[in-house]
Amino acid sequence: MTPSFPQDRLRVLFCDHLNLARGKILHSSKLGHDGEARFCRSTFGVTFDKDLIPAPGAGVTGGLPDMAAHYLASDIRPGWDANSHVVVASLNANDGSPLPLCGRRALQRAVADWQGLGYTPMLGMEMEAYAFRIQPDGSLQPYDTPGAHVYSTGPFSDPEGFMDAIWEKALRAGFPMESMHSEFDSPQFEFTLTYANALKAVDDHFLFRLLARETALAHGMVLTFMPKPILTKGGSGLHANFSFKDKQGNNPITAGAQATEHMNELTRGCIAGLMHHHQGMAALVAPTVNSYQRLQPASMAGYWQNWGVDHRGVTTRVSGESGAAGRLEHRMGDGSANPYTLAATVLQAARLGVVNQYTLVDAEHGDGFVEVDAKQGVAEHLGGALDALETDTLLASAVGVELVANHIAIRRNEVEKTAGLQGDALRDFYIRFI
């Protein structure tokens, strides 16, 4: 029986290389069955300032060919706007094959690679954002929250109630909300959604982020997930918490007190992979010039090549919880990254550690602020991170050679364009998009 949809349009979306939600509104006749919407493939050659550059794979010098955003009927869900449903699509080339530049396809490959080893990846995303009030002249001012403090809720952290509006709209649209609270700095907020299989978790994250930004805009706010919108305050991260289900449905990650004394080979291999590919990963999970204003020593942002058990001053944190709740938390990424590419990068780096049996370095014993055992951090700037990614051919091959090549070209162009920007000028280059 064909399902009944009371809404009369379908919003088809995909996440592009800049972490922008691109899509089309389609007629209600597209509801209830698999379908596709066509786009220009050279979207993958477009920059934040709308230049069109000949990035690898984008087809800019090859006639600007089409691509197709293919979606499944089973993925169609209620939208948050009246009279609409929404669906996240994966991208195909003209011949129907998966488009190599698509971050969602990269995540699907990462999931399949892990399933080939007998494990299904599970994922939870912790996202942080700052709120800015749009002034009559179009300028932005931080949202005034004079009573806010870390872990505050209600009117002290949100005197105008726009965060409540986000929560209510998300629940009505069926999002698996888990928590929301103010962060250490203000006006900064954290959102978490319920843990789920990797693809669903990132789909939920991608759509929730769009819902939140659109709801904020309706309240005269810009809600930005950019890593460092206020230089004098803490940064915003996008932490990837992951574990697995084995063939028996159990979580094989060793965490909690057991991690220190009896860590299994799977867990050791995952951490070793994240350590081994630390420098190359940065350009994919922290992909903007602004990212490196957040990624600094003593910032709890994932700068150092280190790990620890229940330690927030390291890049890879083994959770203090064990059993079903046991997980690894990778803390380097931020909200400027395509979340599908970010998740694929973390999962592939971890997988490489397992299959290649990398040696695990000792856990961090320092506090992460004044004392640090680790000797290696990420590059000081995006250009250096891109250099590291170019040399990490094993990681690039795992994530997708074509995707990585396109990413490097787009981001090197971004480095050149932002070279003379400082302070609010650099912030404003990104803030309306991230």
Same domain flag for 144 and 71: no
User: What is the tens place of the pLDDT at every residue in 123-162?
Assistant: 999 999 999 999 999 999 999 888 878 887 888 888 888 8
- The answer to the question of residue 3 being in a domain is no
Residue burial 106-132, b: 16+ Cβ < 10 Å; e: rest: bbbbbbebbeeeebebbbbbbbbbbbb
Degrees to nearest 5, angle at CA 209 with 326 and 415: 95
Same domain flag for 292 and 264: yes
Confidence class of residue 7 from pLDDT cuts 50, 70 and 90?
A: low
Assess whether pLDDT exceeds 90 at residue 186. Answer: no
Tokens, residue 381: 């700037």
- The answer to the question of residue 282 being in a domain is yes
DSSP string for 275-291: HHTHHHHHHHHS-STTH
Domain boundary (74, 101, 128) is at 101
- CA gap 370, 80 in Å, rounded: 46
User: What is the tens place of the pLDDT at every residue in 373-393?
Assistant: 889 999 999 999 999 999 999
Tokens, residue 227: 């890593």
Assess whether pLDDT exceeds 80 at residue 4. Answer: no
Domain CATH number, residue 308: 3.30.590.10
Same domain flag for 226 and 282: yes
Same domain flag for 180 and 281: yes
Tokens, residue 88: 């996240």
For residue 66, with 0-12 CB atoms within 10 Å meaning exposed, 13-18 middle and 19 or more buried, which class applies? middle
Domain CATH number, residue 19: 3.10.20.70
Same domain flag for 115 and 50: no
What is the tally of structural domains in the chain?
Answer: 2
Same domain flag for 37 and 143: no
User: What is the tens place of the pLDDT at every residue in 210-267?
Assistant: 999 999 999 999 999 999 999 999 999 999 999 999 999 999 999 888 887 789 999 9
Same domain flag for 88 and 118: no
Write down the mean pLDDT value for the chain: 92
- For position 152, what pLDDT does the model report? 77
- CA gap 171, 191 in Å, rounded: 13
Same domain flag for 425 and 289: yes
Domain hosting 245: range is 110-430
Tokens, residue 206: 């991608």
Same domain flag for 239 and 159: yes
Distance of CA 331 to the CA centre of its chain: 11
- CA gap 254, 321 in Å, rounded: 9
Mean pLDDT across the stretch 87-111? 96
Assess whether pLDDT exceeds 70 at residue 179. Answer: yes
- The answer to the question of residue 133 being in a domain is yes
Domain boundary (71, 101, 131) is at 101
User: What is the tens place of the pLDDT at every residue in 292-349?
Assistant: 999 999 888 899 999 999 888 899 999 988 888 899 999 999 999 999 999 999 999 9
CA dihedral 85, 88, 93, 99 (to 10 degrees): 180
- CA gap 433, 284 in Å, rounded: 18
Same domain flag for 122 and 219: yes
Is there a contact between 280 and 350 (Cβ–Cβ < 8 Å)? no
* Backbone φ, ψ for residue 184 (5° rounding): -60, -45
Same domain flag for 15 and 132: no
Mean pLDDT across the stretch 179-197? 88
Is there a contact between 346 and 327 (Cβ–Cβ < 8 Å)? no
Confidence class of residue 6 from pLDDT cuts 50, 70 and 90?
A: low
Q: For residue 212, what are the contacts with CB-CB under 8 A and spacing of at least 6? A: 129, 166, 170, 191, 223
- The answer to the question of residue 402 being in a domain is yes
- For position 82, what pLDDT does the model report? 83
Question: Percentage of the chain surpassing pLDDT 70?
Answer: 98
- The answer to the question of residue 1 being in a domain is no
- For position 323, what pLDDT does the model report? 85
Assess whether pLDDT exceeds 90 at residue 44. Answer: yes
- The answer to the question of residue 120 being in a domain is yes
- The answer to the question of residue 118 being in a domain is yes
- CA gap 76, 72 in Å, rounded: 7
Confidence class of residue 1 from pLDDT cuts 50, 70 and 90?
A: very low
The pTM of the full predicted model, rounded to 2 decimals, is 0.94
Same domain flag for 116 and 87: no
Domain boundary (69, 101, 133) is at 101
- The answer to the question of residue 332 being in a domain is yes
Mean pLDDT across the stretch 181-202? 90
- CA gap 252, 39 in Å, rounded: 41
